[in-house]
């Protein structure tokens, strides 16, 4: 096997050779928990979930770290706004939410979205606020090496000196003089407007709870510092893959790489970035009104359909949402599920025992596609080709070929994570009752067809269709399945 991934730092697809044989270490940027998850967050999580699953399929023991940024300017601003702007009808008073409560509330919303869409939990999911000592140690290392300095205005801020690091800008191939000023602190304390904050001194108006003692005065960490400190704690000073959305390349990942390497760490061997989600070719914007959230998608389609849609494009490409996108994804999932239902019934009835598809190897063409920089579109083409071949085998009564197709389809769905997206809660007794009723209707329809009473046969089929039951006629008789969203 030869795994190959695109590395943003070198701007080329390279062979992936783990730093430690038999293992892989992956860090990808999680949420800044200032609000509800948006579709970009979820697409990124699904992309790196697909990566993790494929590395595991290829026999690697994968350690995954996904951080939670639970202290940030935007979180503090949202909390402050809740103390002044939001009125609660229930209490007839102003509604106030402390920053840490707001952050935790939204963190749970992200966890729910990840879980329902089948994103595996990471090995470690550290919060920024739990790693302040590690951040202090990293800042001190940078100061000792001449790459950071306390603010010139005694504000308590500490900055990274971008001109002290000759490779600054190499991740995004930019020249320092062409960069805009870093907007994360008052420029009066900086040597260069592009220097970015490692530590932010406590300011008037900041909550006391959002402040930690440090050698440079009370304050809180800068955004970029948090990730560098957390990833090296859990994965060491050199690890295999650092991932995140394309929008994080600059300044976040550029700054992460600079401060970590300037401190003496090798840091990431690969940088992988997933593409953005657009709305009919345009950037999503609340002000324009062309946005759709994961929650809105889940109102329109099942979790498996949403997972299929968000994971169907190549991870580096733009994923364009259109009003018909979920319908098209639902049709694709329905074709897959229709084959699985039909094959399971045929194989179970063939020998009277329940069907079981064990975990085998996915088709070689699927493997080749996934090895080639996670080419999921090509892998899905293999999946649908297998579904078509399986249906043809069922029609021809070739049960061994149908069984092999069923095993392959099941394993491909598992590897892509589609099987792990949440299914609607179902009651077993209700399912059994539904099965008995539908089978009785199908028997009545079969008798009507035998009597050439086509009107009665069509009426039964139409009644079942109106109830969301899809009937398929085949050489082995009629089969049925629930229509998917």
Mean per-residue pLDDT for 278-289?
Answer: 87
Which stretches of 203-324 are DSSP H helices? 223-235, 254-262, 294-300, 303-311
> For 23-37, how does the pLDDT look when each residue is reduced to its tens digit (9 = 90+)?
999 999 999 999 999
**Which residue from 336, 301, 317, 279 is spatially nearest to 424, judged by alpha carbons?**
301
Report pLDDT for 359: 64
Mean per-residue pLDDT for 221-235?
Answer: 96
Question: Any idea how long the chain is?
Answer: 485
Report pLDDT for 178: 95
Statement: residue 423 has pLDDT above 90: no
Statement: residue 485 has pLDDT above 60: no
Q: What share of the chain is helix, strand, coil (3-state, %, to 5)?
A: 50, 15, 35
Statement: residue 431 has pLDDT above 60: no
Q: Look at the block and give the residue holding tokens 């709305």.
A: 279
Report pLDDT for 409: 96
* Interacting residues of 263 by C-beta distance below 8 A, sequence separation 6+: 138, 141, 142, 145, 147, 228
> For 313-341, how does the pLDDT look when each residue is reduced to its tens digit (9 = 90+)?
999 999 999 999 999 999 999 999 999 99
Statement: residue 358 has pLDDT above 80: no
Report pLDDT for 429: 47
Report pLDDT for 254: 98
Mean per-residue pLDDT for 61-82?
Answer: 94
Give me the residues paired with residue 12 across strands.
7
pLDDT above 70 as % of the chain: 91
Mean per-residue pLDDT for 470-477?
Answer: 75
Where does the pLDDT of residue 93 fall: very low under 50, low under 70, confident under 90, or very high at 90 and above? very low
Question: Can you give 369-388 as a three-state secondary structure string?
Answer: HHHECCCHHHHHHHHHHHHH
Mean per-residue pLDDT for 403-408?
Answer: 94
Q: Are 58 and 68 in contact (CB under 8 A)?
A: no
Where does the pLDDT of residue 347 fall: very low under 50, low under 70, confident under 90, or very high at 90 and above? confident
Report pLDDT for 262: 98
Statement: residue 92 has pLDDT above 80: no
Statement: residue 449 has pLDDT above 90: no
Q: Are 405 and 387 in contact (CB under 8 A)?
A: yes
What is the Cα–Cα distance from 358 to 380, expressed in whole angstroms? 20
Which of 180-184, 262-266, 437-441, 466-470 is the most confident on average?
262-266
Least confident of 158-167, 218-227, 338-347: 338-347
What is the Cα–Cα distance from 92 to 11, expressed in whole angstroms? 57
Q: Are 292 and 24 in contact (CB under 8 A)?
A: no
Report pLDDT for 85: 60
375-400: buried (b, 16+ CB within 10 Å) or exposed (e) per residue?
bbebbbebbeebbebbbebbeeeebe
Where does the pLDDT of residue 286 fall: very low under 50, low under 70, confident under 90, or very high at 90 and above? confident
Statement: residue 95 has pLDDT above 70: no
Domain ranges in the chain are 4-275, 326-420, 428-482
Tokens of 144: 């000792």
**Which residue from 31, 210, 39 is spatially nearest to 106, judged by alpha carbons?**
31
Mean per-residue pLDDT for 270-299?
Answer: 91
Between the alpha carbon of residue 73 and those of residues 103, 357, 373, 375, the distances in Å are 12, 50, 36, 37
- We find that the CATH architecture of domain 326-420 is Up-down Bundle (1.20)
CATH 1.10.150.120 fits 4-275, yes or no: no
């Amino acid at each position: 096997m030869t795994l190959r991934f695109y590395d943003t730092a070198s701007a080329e697809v390279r062979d992936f050779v783990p730093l430690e044989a038999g293992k892989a270490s992956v860090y990808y940027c999680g949420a800044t928990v200032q609000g509800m998850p948006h579709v970009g967050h979820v697409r990124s999580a699904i992309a790196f979930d697909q990566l993790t699953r494929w590395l595991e399929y290829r026999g690697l023991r994968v350690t995954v770290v996904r951080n939670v940024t639970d202290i940030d300017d935007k979180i503090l601003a949202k909390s402050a706004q809740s103390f002044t702007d939001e009125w609660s009808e229930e209490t007839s008073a102003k509604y106030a939410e402390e920053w840490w409560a707001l952050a935790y509330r939204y963190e749970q919303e992200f966890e729910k979205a990840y879980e329902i869409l089948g994103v595996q939990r990471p090995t470690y999911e550290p919060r920024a606020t739990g790693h302040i000592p590690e951040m202090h140690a990293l800042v001190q290392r940078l100061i000792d090496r001449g790459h950071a300095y306390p603010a010139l205005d005694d504000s308590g801020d500490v900055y990274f000196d971008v001109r002290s690091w000759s490779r600054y800008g190499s991740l995004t191939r930019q020249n320092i003089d062409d960069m805009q000023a870093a907007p994360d602190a008052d420029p009066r304390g900086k040597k260069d407007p592009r220097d970015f904050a490692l530590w932010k001194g406590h300011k008037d108006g900041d909550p006391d709870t959002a402040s930690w003692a440090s050698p440079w005065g009370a304050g809180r960490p800068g955004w970029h510092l948090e990730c560098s400190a957390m990833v090296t704690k859990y994965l060491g000073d050199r690890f295999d893959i650092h991932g995140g959305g394309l929008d994080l390349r600059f300044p976040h990942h550029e700054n992460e790489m600079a401060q970590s390497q300037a401190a003496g760490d090798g840091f990431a061997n690969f940088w992988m970035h997933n593409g953005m989600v657009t709305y009919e070719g345009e950037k999503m914007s609340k002000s324009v009104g062309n946005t759709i959230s994961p929650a809105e998608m889940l109102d329109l389609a099942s979790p498996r359909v949403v997972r299929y849609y968000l994971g169907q494009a190549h991870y580096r490409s733009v994923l364009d949402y259109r009003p018909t996108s979920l319908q098209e994804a639902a049709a694709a999932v329905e074709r897959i599920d229709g084959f699985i239902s039909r094959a399971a019934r045929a194989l179970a009835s063939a020998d009277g025992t329940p069907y079981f598809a064990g975990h085998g190897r996915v088709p070689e063409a699927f493997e080749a596609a996934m090895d080639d920089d996670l080419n999921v579109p090509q892998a899905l083409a293999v999946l649908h080709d297998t579904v078509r071949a399986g249906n043809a085998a069922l029609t021809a009564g070739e049960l061994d070929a149908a069984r092999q197709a069923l095993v392959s389809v099941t394993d491909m769905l598992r590897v892509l994570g589609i099987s792990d997206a949440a299914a609607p809660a179902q009651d077993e007794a209700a399912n059994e009752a539904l099965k008995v009723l539908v089978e009785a209707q199908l028997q009545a329809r079969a008798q009507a067809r035998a009597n050439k009473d086509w009107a009665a046969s069509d009426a039964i089929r139409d009644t079942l269709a109106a109830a969301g039951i899809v009937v398929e006629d085949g050489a082995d008789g009629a089969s049925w399945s629930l229509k998917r969203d």
